[in-house]
Amino acid sequence: MQPRRQPSPAPPPPPPPPALRPGAPLLALLLLLSLRGAAAVPEEPGQSQDAGPSRGLLQQAARAALHFFNFRAGSPSALRVLAAVQEGRAWVNPKEGCKVDLVFSTERYKAEEGEEGLGKCSARVFFKNQKPRPAINVTCTRLFEKKKQQQEDYLLYKQMKRLKAPLDGVSIPDSHGHIDPSLRPVWDLAFLGSSYVMWEKTTQSLHYYLAQLTGVKQWKTDDDEIDFDYTVLLHEFSTQEIIPCRIHLVWYPGKQLKVKYHCQELQTPEASGTEEGSAVAPTKLSNF
């Protein structure tokens, strides 16, 4: 009879892992965060990125940027309107407001038939918690040659200089939405000056459109500038209010536009402002 075999001894347990050095868990965490990329971190403390900003917010930012661009360009021939928003993102700071970066396409405001005038703009717009006058930085590609733009501006300038009698009592456009060709220069210049007013009054939820020009009076001056007063009706889309504004405008082709205005608010206190030369901050007026 063979002797009984003894079972083999169990293998020794694996050695314990080496102890982590002090601070190793923190280093590992920092490495993981760095691999995720800087885009996951808000640009500034207190801001959170909106994963999907609404179409309405992007369009609001684009409209505000165009009001500002039109005013700063100071050229009735360079006026633009929004075509479409291509892309955008937003950051929200509950204490400060909403910052929007976006890219959008534009078209010429008075595009001629058959003209291909689609341009592209990029902008950063900062809405300050429902306060008016958003801060804007906008850059746009040129729609047509600068020389052509200067020629069109000078042609409009000569047409305005020939304007003699005040146009009080007229409505541009008329009740059928038609603008007489002879009055088109007046409307374009009024639209240019109104761009400043609409930018100043825009908030994150309120936007404006020039509905009608109801009166114009041009002043004789000792220099070559166009100097005239006009009254417009601004349509505020969120409240559907029609707001009358008196605007004083001084313009000469190639020079910075000068604007003063006074609006009669229907539900809020009256507002007024001014913009001259390269100044940025408006100065409140006690009267017009």
Summarize pLDDT for 114-151 with one digit per residue, the tens.
566 689 999 999 999 889 999 999 999 988 788 889 99
pLDDT of 22 > 60? The answer is: no
Q: Which amino acid is at 226?
A: I
4 belongs to a structural domain: no
CATH code at position 121:
3.10.450.10
Q: Find out whether 217 and 190 touch, Cβ atoms under 8 Å.
A: no
What does the pLDDT read at residue 39? 30
pLDDT, mean over the chain = 78
Q: Which residue has the higher pLDDT, 15 or 262?
A: 262
Amino acid occupying residue 160 = M
* Cβ–Cβ < 8 Å for 240, 212: no
Predicted confidence (pLDDT) per residue in 51-97, tens digit = 578 999 999 999 999 999 999 999 999 999 999 999 999 999 999 99
Closest CA to 207 of 166, 173, 241, 244: 241
The model carries a pTM of 0.75
Q: What are phi and psi of 214, to 5 degrees?
A: -110, -5
How many domains does the chain divide into?
Answer: 1
- Give the structural domain span for 129: 49-275
Q: CA 192, CA 187: separation in Å to the nearest integer?
A: 9
Q: Please state, in angstroms and rounded to a whole number, the distance separating the CA atoms of residues 58 and 101.
A: 9
**3-class secondary-structure state, position 215:** strand
For the segment 30-62, what is each residue's pLDDT rounded down to a tens digit? 333 333 333 333 345 556 676 578 999 999 999
> What whole-number distance in Å separates Cα of residue 257 and Cα of residue 234?
20
Residue 130 located in a structural domain: yes
Q: pLDDT band at residue 15, thresholds of 50, 70 and 90? A: low
Residue 156, classed as helix, strand or coil, is helix
Say whether the peptide bond before residue 45 is cis (omega within 30 degrees of 0): no
Residues of 211-223 as b/e, b for ≥16 C-beta within 10 angstroms? ebbbbbebeeeee
Is 43 a domain residue?
no
Q: Is residue 187 domain-resident?
A: yes
